[in-house]
Amino acid sequence: MTLLIVSRSAESESVIELHGRLSDAEIGEFRGACASRPLPLRIDLSNLSGATSEGVVALREAQARGARLTAASPYVELLLRAADRGGGRQGQGSGASG
């Protein structure tokens, strides 16, 4: 497994921490974790090393449903910005994991 998902409650919000790389194999588990937590939901990306294009889509979907994405590395920020510009296929390549 390339991703560890940690769910917890913190003060007045639910928190999901992602540790590792969000690849296609873990997207279902990530979506399930998000669906099982009430809003407000914060997704802590401080330990996320990268994501496939479908992983970025899943992050954006969670954000569209009201989750707040926080503490992303510059590399993950770049992946998210590329998806905003319609370049969502970037980051899928040969294993760059910032």
| Residue range 10-58, pLDDT digits in tens | 889 999 999 999 999 999 999 999 999 999 999 999 999 999 999 999 9
| Residue range 76-94, pLDDT digits in tens | 999 999 877 775 444 444 3
Superfamily (CATH H level) for 3-84: STAS domain (3.30.750.24)
Domain ranges of the chain: 3-84
In terms of C-beta distances under 8 Å and separation of at least 24 residues, what long-range contacts does 46-49 make, across chains too?
A: 46/17, 46/70, 46/71, 46/72, 46/73, 47/17, 47/18, 47/19, 47/20, 48/18, 48/19, 48/20, 48/21, 48/22, 48/72, 48/73, 48/76, 49/20, 49/21, 49/73, 49/75, 49/76, 49/97, 49/98
